[in-house]
Amino acid sequence: MTARTRSIGVEIAGVSLATPVLIASGCVGTGKELSGLVELRRVGGLVSRTVTVEPREGSAPPRIVESAAGVVWDTGLQNPGVDAFVASELPALAAASPVFVSIAGGTLEEYVRITGVLQGRAGVAAIEVHLSGPDRELERPVIGAHADRLTEVVGAVARMSLVPVFAKLPGGVDVVPLAVAAARAGASGLTLCASPPALAIDSVATRPALGAANGWLSGPALKPMTLRAVAEVHRALPRMPLVASGGIRTAADAVEAMLAGASAVQVGTATLIDPTAPVTIAKGIVAELQRRAAGSPAELVGAVEIGSAVPVQEEQRA
Amino acid sequence: MTARTRSIGVEIAGVSLATPVLIASGCVGTGKELSGLVELRRVGGLVSRTVTVEPREGSAPPRIVESAAGVVWDTGLQNPGVDAFVASELPALAAASPVFVSIAGGTLEEYVRITGVLQGRAGVAAIEVHLSGPDRELERPVIGAHADRLTEVVGAVARMSLVPVFAKLPGGVDVVPLAVAAARAGASGLTLCASPPALAIDSVATRPALGAANGWLSGPALKPMTLRAVAEVHRALPRMPLVASGGIRTAADAVEAMLAGASAVQVGTATLIDPTAPVTIAKGIVAELQRRAAGSPAELVGAVEIGSAVPVQEEQRA
Amino acid sequence: MKRVRAEILSTRRLGSYQSLTLVAPEIAERAKPGQFVAVAMPDDRDFLLRRHLTIHQSSRRGGWAGTLEFVVDPGAGPGTAWLSDMRAHGFLDVIGPLGTPFSYPKRLTNCLLIGEGRSVAGLYFLAQELVARGKRVDMVIGGSTLDAVFKPIEAKRLSQLVTVVTDDGTLGETGTVIEAIEPALERAPIEVVYAAGKVPLLSAVAEICRSRKLPAQVAVEERMGCGYGLCGTCAVPVASKDGTTWGHVRACVDGPVFNPARVVWDRWRAAGAASPVGEDAQ
Amino acid sequence: MKRVRAEILSTRRLGSYQSLTLVAPEIAERAKPGQFVAVAMPDDRDFLLRRHLTIHQSSRRGGWAGTLEFVVDPGAGPGTAWLSDMRAHGFLDVIGPLGTPFSYPKRLTNCLLIGEGRSVAGLYFLAQELVARGKRVDMVIGGSTLDAVFKPIEAKRLSQLVTVVTDDGTLGETGTVIEAIEPALERAPIEVVYAAGKVPLLSAVAEICRSRKLPAQVAVEERMGCGYGLCGTCAVPVASKDGTTWGHVRACVDGPVFNPARVVWDRWRAAGAASPVGEDAQ
Ligand SMILES: Cc1cc2nc3c(=O)[nH]c(=O)nc-3n(C[C@H](O)[C@H](O)[C@H](O)COP(=O)(O)OP(=O)(O)OC[C@H]3O[C@@H](n4cnc5c(N)ncnc54)[C@H](O)[C@@H]3O)c2cc1C
Ligand SMILES: Cc1cc2nc3c(=O)[nH]c(=O)nc-3n(C[C@H](O)[C@H](O)[C@H](O)COP(=O)(O)OP(=O)(O)OC[C@H]3O[C@@H](n4cnc5c(N)ncnc54)[C@H](O)[C@@H]3O)c2cc1C
Ligand SMILES: Cc1cc2nc3c(=O)[nH]c(=O)nc-3n(C[C@H](O)[C@H](O)[C@H](O)COP(=O)(O)O)c2cc1C
Ligand SMILES: Cc1cc2nc3c(=O)[nH]c(=O)nc-3n(C[C@H](O)[C@H](O)[C@H](O)COP(=O)(O)O)c2cc1C
Ligand code: FES
Ligand code: FES
Interfacial C residues in 253-272 facing A (CB < 8 Å): 267
Does residue D97 surpass a pLDDT of 90? yes
CA-based torsion, C255, C261, C267, C270: positive or negative: positive
Do A224 and B70 make contact, defined as CB atoms within 8 angstroms? yes
Q: CA-based angle C161:C166:C168, to the nearest 5? A: 145
**Which ligand does the CA of A191 lie closest to?**
3
- DSSP string over D157-212: HH-SSEEEEETTSSSSEES-HHHHHHHHHHHS---EEEEES-HHHHHHHHHHHHHH
Instruction: Give the pLDDT confidence score for residue A4 in this predicted structure.
Output: 54
- CA neighbor of B74 nearest in space, from A259, A311, C245, A222: A311
Instruction: Give the pLDDT confidence score for residue C272 in this predicted structure.
Output: 54
CB C276 within 8 A of CB C223: yes
Q: How far is C57 from chain A (nearest CA, A)?
A: 37
E strand or H helix that includes residue B283: helix B277-291
C61 burial class (0-12, 13-18, 19+ CB within 10 angstroms)?
exposed
E strand or H helix that includes residue A230: helix A223-236
Q: Which pairing describes strands A45-47 and A99-103: parallel, antiparallel, or unpaired?
A: parallel
CA distance C233 to B58: 10
CA distance C35 to C58: 10
In this predicted model, what pLDDT tens digit does every residue of A86-105 receive, in sequence order? 999 999 999 989 999 999 99
Query: How many C-beta neighbours within 10 Å does residue C276 have?
Result: 16
The pLDDT of B209-229, averaged and rounded, is 97
User: Which chain B residues contact residue C47 at CB under 8 A?
Assistant: 66
Do A37 and D49 make contact, defined as CB atoms within 8 angstroms? no
Task: Measure Cα distances from D185 to B283, D113, D142, D179, D257 in Å.
Answer: 51, 11, 16, 11, 21
Do C223 and B65 make contact, defined as CB atoms within 8 angstroms? yes
Helix axes A147-160, A108-118, angle to 10 degrees: 20
In this predicted model, what pLDDT tens digit does every residue of A66-77 receive, in sequence order? 999 999 999 999
Instruction: Give the pLDDT confidence score for residue B295 in this predicted structure.
Output: 85
- CA neighbor of C145 nearest in space, from C277, C282, C280: C280
D86 burial class (0-12, 13-18, 19+ CB within 10 angstroms)?
middle
Q: Determine the residue of chain D that is closest to C47 in CA distance.
A: D44
CA distance D48 to A262: 25
Q: Determine the residue of chain C that is closest to D47 in CA distance.
A: C44
C244 burial class (0-12, 13-18, 19+ CB within 10 angstroms)?
exposed
Q: Determine the residue of chain C that is closest to A315 in CA distance.
A: C247
Instruction: Give the pLDDT confidence score for residue C61 in this predicted structure.
Output: 75
Interface contact D135, partner B, CB < 8 A:
no
- DSSP string over A175-187: -HHHHHHHHHHT-
The residue contributing the CA closest to ligand 1 atom 37 is: C223
User: Which chain B residues contact residue A242 at CB under 8 A?
Assistant: none
Please enumerate residues of D whose Cβ is less than 8 A from a Cβ of C.
44-47, 78
Do D267 and B68 make contact, defined as CB atoms within 8 angstroms? no
Strand partners, B12: B15
The pLDDT of D45-58, averaged and rounded, is 96
CA distance D129 to D133: 6
Give the residue ranges of chain C where pLDDT is below 50.
Answer: 273-282
In this predicted model, what pLDDT tens digit does every residue of C10-49 receive, in sequence order? 999 999 999 999 999 999 999 999 999 999 999 999 999 9
Does residue B213 surpass a pLDDT of 50? yes
Instruction: Give the pLDDT confidence score for residue D63 in this predicted structure.
Output: 72
CA distance D114 to B84: 73
Measure A305 CA to ligand 5 centroid, in angstroms.
27
CA distance C87 to C83: 9
E strand or H helix that includes residue C156: helix C152-158
Instruction: Give the pLDDT confidence score for residue A295 in this predicted structure.
Output: 85
Measured from CB, residues less than 6 Å from any atom of ligand 5 are C 224-227, 229-234, 250, 252
- Looking at residue A112, its amino acid is V
CB burial readout C42-59, b (16+ within 10 A) else e:
eebbbbbbbbbbbbbbbb
pLDDT band at B4 (very low <50, low <70, confident <90, very high): low
- The torsion defined by the Cα of A272, A276, A277 and A278, in degrees rounded to 10, comes to 100
Q: For chain B, what's the residue count?
A: 318
The residue contributing the CA closest to ligand 2 atom 33 is: D277
The residue contributing the CA closest to ligand 1 atom 48 is: C277
Instruction: Give the pLDDT confidence score for residue A308 in this predicted structure.
Output: 62
Instruction: Give the pLDDT confidence score for residue A312 in this predicted structure.
Output: 39
CB A306 within 8 A of CB A231: yes
CB D86 within 8 A of CB D8: yes
Please state, for a pLDDT cut of 70, what percent of chain B lies above it.
95
In this predicted model, what pLDDT tens digit does every residue of C127-146 receive, in sequence order? 999 999 999 999 999 999 99
In this predicted model, what pLDDT tens digit does every residue of B234-292 receive, in sequence order? 999 999 999 999 999 999 999 999 999 999 999 999 999 999 999 999 999 999 999 99
CB-nearest to A29 from D95, D229, D267 is: D229
Strand partners, D261: none
Measure C231 CA to ligand 4 centroid, in angstroms.
9
C134: left (phi over 0), alpha (psi -120 to 50) or beta: left
- Whether the bond between D97 and the residue before it is cis, its omega within 30 degrees of 0, is yes
Query: How many C-beta neighbours within 10 Å does residue C245 have?
Result: 9
Beta-strand ranges (E) seen in B177-232 are 189-192, 197-199, 201-202, 207-208, 214-218
CA-based torsion, C20, C21, C25, C31: positive or negative: positive
Instruction: Give the pLDDT confidence score for residue C65 in this predicted structure.
Output: 81
Do B231 and A58 make contact, defined as CB atoms within 8 angstroms? no
Instruction: Give the pLDDT confidence score for residue B312 in this predicted structure.
Output: 39
Measure B171 CA to ligand 5 centroid, in angstroms.
26
Strand partners, D93: D5
CB burial readout A220-248, b (16+ within 10 A) else e:
bbbbbbbbbbbbbbbbbbeebbbbbbbbb
Which atom of ligand 3 is found nearest the CA of A50?
Answer: 8
Instruction: Give the pLDDT confidence score for residue C70 in this predicted structure.
Output: 97
| Helix (H/G/I), strand (E/B), else coil: D4 | strand
CB B71 less than 6 A from any atom of ligand 4: yes
A127's CB contacts (< 8 A; 6+ apart) are A100, A101, A102, A103, A115, A118, A157, A161, A163, A164, A165, A166
Measured from CB, residues less than 6 Å from any atom of ligand 2 are D 36, 51-54, 70-73, 76-80, 118, 121, 221-224, 256, 276-277, 281
A3's CB contacts (< 8 A; 6+ apart) are none
Q: Determine the residue of chain A that is closest to D282 in CA distance.
A: A204
Instruction: Give the pLDDT confidence score for residue D282 in this predicted structure.
Output: 29
Instruction: Give the pLDDT confidence score for residue B315 in this predicted structure.
Output: 37
Interface contact A3, partner C, CB < 8 A:
no
Measure A252 CA to ligand 3 centroid, in angstroms.
20
In this predicted model, what pLDDT tens digit does every residue of B143-188 receive, in sequence order? 999 999 999 999 999 999 999 999 999 999 999 999 999 999 999 9
The series of mean pLDDT values per 10 residues for chain A, 318 residues long, is: 66 95 97 90 96 96 97 97 96 95 98 97 97 96 96 98 98 95 98 98 95 96 98 97 98 98 98 97 94 90 79 37
Beta-strand ranges (E) seen in chain B are 10-12, 15-17, 21-23, 45-47, 64-67, 70-73, 99-103, 126-130, 165-169, 189-192, 197-199, 201-202, 207-208, 214-218, 242-245, 264-267
Instruction: Give the pLDDT confidence score for residue B5 in this predicted structure.
Output: 55
Instruction: Give the pLDDT confidence score for residue A21 in this predicted structure.
Output: 98
Instruction: Give the pLDDT confidence score for residue C271 in this predicted structure.
Output: 59
CA distance B24 to B27: 6
Q: Determine the residue of chain D that is closest to C45 in CA distance.
A: D45
Average pLDDT, chain C: 92
Q: CA-based angle D167:D171:D173, to the nearest 5? A: 65
Strand partners, B15: B12
Does residue B3 surpass a pLDDT of 90? no
Q: For chain C, what's the residue count?
A: 282
pLDDT band at D131 (very low <50, low <70, confident <90, very high): very high
- CA neighbor of D208 nearest in space, from D187, D188, D181: D181
Average pLDDT, chain B: 93
